Structure 1
Amino acid sequence: MANPTDVLHPLPPGTESTPLPDRFTFPFYYRPHTLAVAAAEDLQAHLRSDKSWDADFGLDADGTGRQGKMFGVLVVAHGDEELSYLAAYSGKLADSNHLPGFVPPVYDLLDERGFYRSGESEINAVTLELEALQANPAYIRAKQLLETTRLEAEQELQRERQLVKAGKQRRREAREAAADLSPTELEALEKRLAAESIRQSYGLKDLKRALEHRVQLAEEDVSRYEIAISRTEKRRREMSAALQDRIFTEYAFLNAEGQTRGLGSIFSETVFGVPPAGAGECAAPKLLQYAFIHGLRPIALAEFWWGQSPGSEIRQHGHYYPACKGKCEPILSHMLQGLEVDENPLLVNPARGKTLRIVYEDDDLLVIDKPHEFLSVPGKHIQDSVYQRIRGQYPEATGPLVVHRLDMSTSGLLLVTKRKEVHKQLQRQFFRRSVEKRYQALVVGAVAGTEGFIDLPLRGDLDDRPRQIVCSDHGKAARTRWKVVEATGGNTRVDLWPVTGRTHQLRVHCAHPEGLGAAIVGDDLYGQPDDRLCLHAAWIAFVHPTSRERMAFESSVPF
């Protein structure tokens, strides 16, 4: 266990008069407090300096090397309310769970003295035993003999069946040629042919029994070895399951109230029922665990990515990120009990006080100009949405109403219908991709080139919903056309035409290194938070379902 003096770092000069936050950081949606930013910048300065351990984070001049790593800082109060900070990294770093200046893991699976290493050694010994059984020359010879015996038996049986078949044909020909025989001769022939048929039939049955017995003896010989192999495999499975259960029990987490829960207990209440790989190894659980064990009071938390982005998910060097949902949310929900935590901003209705502007209306449909931070349809916790507002304003309207959706944070043009039949016809146009849409985005920094196409398949991040990741194996095709409008204020304004309509498609295609490599300003999922997400559905064109006229509408970009 690391000594607190080894991992407690002083906050940088100039932070002495910084007011403390009223409550602890809500880790799944936040802007880092000033104190946490100061701590993170101090840690980043250390990561840039000479260290006793080596990791390049993929920041070499040629961009090669291993990918980056998520780090975390936790500002804590101790003693006479003196402030310091703790630092942690997710998983292992430089092939180690223990590096100078960082808190240790909640449970160290690499500890040679721990039960995991002991149990792993016992399982490895059984694995070696199993491999020896499987590689036993006598077992291999027995299997080869069984295969040969089966093959020879089948061949011998096939030859006998052919002899029986040939005998049957000869007897048929003998009967056909016996037309001139006397009754006595014919009777003698029939007796001889019948005796021959019976003899061959019994001979085939006797041969079949003999061959089956020979194969059975070979199978029994192989079975003796395979029973031993099966028992050893079962023993290894049971040992592995018992070790896993013990990990889930003893890999335990404290909370602010001093209560402890094991990993298995925490995840038993989730959809999957068992912990995902790597659960509990992220920075935030490590930091809080260390603070609770040593009586340190958590003040503020921040996690940031350092280094080259992974190939699939989007992580920007030096950017702050919330804790992941799949691995961390169940654990942190337990660990934060007893702390006063900031409210979840996602539970606050962002559309309160905002109005919907109607751009066009007739008896069939509406074209709505949706503000940013306004749901298209009701969410899990918030009902206020375009759907709810239109339903209240037009109670006689039928059908699903909303034809397509915009992300809550995206502003711009949205189609809404008043009749179910009109909704179906417009949806058909979307399915056929005959509806044309143009978005405008303000992205961070410069963009290489002036126009082009982005083809990056997308799927949901199973460990961190609602984030999307690029995945060539299981992702759905996603294609976007883009064109630079202008460079402005150090950023770039681009027009975007989505050919497909995947979740977060434009946001990921802008931010990903193989896309524009420039996150949209204000993108709190794939870039950095700001006053708003600078993405606007600026233009839409479609064929009116009733008049059959092509209609186009444009909305001025509000940023």
Structure 2
Amino acid sequence: MPEFNFQEAYFHNLQSTAFSLPQKFTYPFYYTPHKLSVLAAQHLQNYLSKANLNHNFGLCPDSKGLIIGKMFGVMVVKNNDNTLGYLAAFSGKLANTNNLPGFVPTVFDTLNPNGFYKKGEQELNEINKQIEILEASNEYVVAKRNLELSLSLYNEELRALKETIKQKKIARKKLRISEADKLSNEDYNIFLETLKNESIQYNLKLKHFKKFHESNIDDLKQKWNNLKHKIDLLKDLRQTKSAALQKQIHQQYKFLNALGETKDLLDIFKDTTLRVPPAGAGECAAPKLFQYAYENNLKPIAMAEFWWGASPKSEVRKHKQFYPSCRSKCEPILGHMMQGLTVEDNPILEVKKHNEPLEILYEDDYLLLVNKPAEFLSVPGKTSLQSVQTKMQEYLPNNKVLLVHRLDMSTSGILLVAKNERTHKKLQKQFINRSVKKRYVAILNGEIDTQEGEIELPLRVDLDNRPQQLVCFQYGKPAKTKYKVVAVKNGKTRIHFFPITGRTHQLRVHAAHSSGLNTPIFGDDLYGLKANRLHLHAEFLSFEHPVKKKELNIFCKAPF
């Protein structure tokens, strides 16, 4: 690869006559990188491998500081002289700066020491210091502690007194019964009066107790509230200034599109489900690339983004691998910025149809098992109504067809279908009780060190990139998978998966994640590399027939 001075300009020449230009710009949320984008990425990666950016990507064991991998982006562009080149950008900050030589600048530089943001940040820091000083002052700490101790003592003594009153009441009730036959009417009436006076005395004692202690607590509370009021005023001021500063920042992030129109973050997000811009919106690589191209009369041709460095603990990120733009932050922004460009169609919106009849593996009066094709929905989706469920309903027009479980769209294999609600309920109970035995076969895109084992990594949805999943030990749902290697051939591993739980994308994440097998399933377009298909197939299912009470063992050979 030819040597060049990456830092000398933002526009980097891309000498290539071998590749024809794409007819449409890259759809950034699901794409296969154009060869020109791959070439530009190789140029940038060559620079990154040699440059000292004072940032620990986790690639060198001697590097110091927190390990943070980064998403980088390249955009192939043409200038006014029709010269082909590319722009480069990184997401967020790099080496504690927004601007590095060779990389396009950020849309708005929050790190500018003379800018309003830094000044506003300094004001907020001063308010925070004042709050910390007041909350740490001896007067405030003592007042708060005295109030807490007084409340604690009051509540403890109040509970004890109420318990005494309760027990005395029970004792008086017993005495009323036991003494009724022992005393004369006159003596019994005198005795009842004595008990009544005792009750009155305890009620007075409770009243005086509350009055004395509550008066004392009110004094302590007033003293503490006088001190706390100063802190509350500062916190209200901080909230007001913070909201105003955030709004001012959002107004500074102004994004162009190919039509020359400009919108700020508030305008872009006001009609979304979020309504307000999420943290970090506008700081990703893609908006930076578009903005610089439009501001400098450069024509966008193609784009790609790749990961550089170690993977985060929660996500699946492979060094040098290409990834789509994030959805929660970038989709609304890029939706505006790509207006006026001819962009590739969104492949996710393509209606996927399967015109051939589905293969029935087993059928009786109560249920059937069907072989679901890859890239076909289990149930109807937002943009595609055709699915296993709809085809089975067409096949059984006189039955209420109910799927007992589902498979990911990209996964093929056995699906269990009930022909009535009673059967469906009984079969679902077996799945809930985990008495159903399942086996998947997959091809891993690489070799692994172990022959068999167990993976436990809790999963939750990635809110920034649905439907992808994250490993999350704090909020994730338990997910457990057993596995056993079947064979290794041509650098790929054939493996059996035995899912104990059934989370979304469980096998795909457990295979790809660095704390799992660290080897994605071949053809996994979300957690690995795209191929002709996802090589994951539900090949075996064993369960008890809910009516015939016999074990059914169904096998469906994988098409790979």
Normalised by the length of structure 1, the TM-score is 0.84
How far did residue 493 of structure 1 move? Answer: 0.6
Match in the other structure for 1:542: 543
How far did residue 268 of structure 1 move? Answer: 2.6
Within-5 A mapping of 1:15-94 = 15-51=16-52, 53-60=53-60, 66-94=67-95
Asked if the contact 1:351/1:373 (under 8 Å) is kept, the reply is no
Q: 1:39 to 1:221 in 2, by over 3 A?
A: same
SS in 2 for 1:395: coil
Match in the other structure for 1:243: 245
Moved more, 227-236 or 425-434: 227-236
Within-5 A mapping of 1:504-543 = 504-543=505-544
Given residue 291 of structure 2, which amino acid in structure 1 is its aligned partner?
Q
Given residue 415 of structure 1, which amino acid in structure 2 is its aligned partner?
L
Asked if the contact 2:13/2:83 (under 8 Å) is kept, the reply is no
Across the aligned residues of Structure 1 and Structure 2, the Cα RMSD in angstroms comes to: 3.1
Match in the other structure for 1:263: 265
Asked if the contact 1:351/1:375 (under 8 Å) is kept, the reply is no
Asked if the contact 1:27/1:322 (under 8 Å) is kept, the reply is yes
**Higher Cα Rg, which structure:** 1
SS in 2 for 1:7: coil
Given residue 9 of structure 2, which amino acid in structure 1 is its aligned partner?
D
Asked if the contact 2:107/2:254 (under 8 Å) is kept, the reply is yes
C-alpha separation between the residues in 2 aligned to 1:488 and 1:554? Answer: 23
Match in the other structure for 1:285: 287
Within-5 A mapping of 1:397-416 = 397-400=399-402, 402-416=403-417
Moved more, 326-335 or 369-378: 326-335
C-alpha separation between the residues in 2 aligned to 1:446 and 1:258? Answer: 50
1:6 aligns with 2:9: yes
Match in the other structure for 1:433: 434
Given residue 398 of structure 1, which amino acid in structure 2 is its aligned partner?
K
SS in 2 for 1:397: coil
How far did residue 60 of structure 1 move? Answer: 2.2
How far did residue 127 of structure 1 move? Answer: 2.9
Asked if the contact 1:354/1:371 (under 8 Å) is kept, the reply is no
SS in 2 for 1:481: strand
Structure 2 unaligned segments of length 5 or more: list them: 1-5, 159-203
Match of 2:364 among 362, 365, 378: 362
Normalised by the length of structure 2, the TM-score is 0.84
C-alpha separation between the residues in 1 aligned to 2:325 and 2:468? Answer: 12
Match in the other structure for 1:182: none
Match in the other structure for 2:131: 130
SS in 2 for 1:424: helix
How far did residue 541 of structure 1 move? Answer: 1.3
Within-5 A mapping of 1:36-435 = 36-51=37-52, 53-60=53-60, 66-135=67-136, 222-400=224-402, 402-435=403-436
How far did residue 293 of structure 1 move? Answer: 1.5
Q: 1:407 to 1:210 in 2, by over 3 A?
A: closer
Given residue 392 of structure 1, which amino acid in structure 2 is its aligned partner?
E
Match in the other structure for 2:502: 501
Match in the other structure for 1:481: 482
SS in 1 for 2:58: coil
Q: 1:383 to 1:147 in 2, by over 3 A?
A: closer
Q: 1:116 to 1:493 in 2, by over 3 A?
A: same
C-alpha separation between the residues in 1 aligned to 2:215 and 2:496? Answer: 79
C-alpha separation between the residues in 2 aligned to 1:484 and 1:139? Answer: 64
Q: 1:92 to 1:152 in 2, by over 3 A?
A: closer
How far did residue 242 of structure 1 move? Answer: 0.8
Q: Deviations over 1:284-334 (max 9, x none)?
A: 111111111212111101011111111111001111111111221121111
Q: 1:544 to 1:93 in 2, by over 3 A?
A: same
C-alpha separation between the residues in 1 aligned to 2:448 and 2:63? Answer: 18
Moved more, 243-252 or 379-388: 243-252
Given residue 526 of structure 2, which amino acid in structure 1 is its aligned partner?
L
Asked if the contact 1:444/1:490 (under 8 Å) is kept, the reply is yes
C-alpha separation between the residues in 2 aligned to 1:232 and 1:55? Answer: 37
How far did residue 61 of structure 1 move? Answer: 5.3
How far did residue 467 of structure 1 move? Answer: 0.5
The count of aligned residue pairs is: 511
Asked if the contact 1:403/1:415 (under 8 Å) is kept, the reply is yes
SS in 2 for 1:426: helix
How far did residue 343 of structure 1 move? Answer: 0.4
Q: Deviations over 1:173-195 (max 9, x none)?
A: xxxxxxxxxxxxxxxxxxxxxxx
Asked if the contact 1:248/1:265 (under 8 Å) is kept, the reply is no
C-alpha separation between the residues in 1 aligned to 2:151 and 2:315? Answer: 54
SS in 1 for 2:9: helix
Asked if the contact 2:147/2:217 (under 8 Å) is kept, the reply is yes
Structure 1 unaligned segments of length 5 or more: list them: 158-200
Q: 1:146 to 1:10 in 2, by over 3 A?
A: same
Q: 1:503 to 1:63 in 2, by over 3 A?
A: farther
Given residue 47 of structure 1, which amino acid in structure 2 is its aligned partner?
L
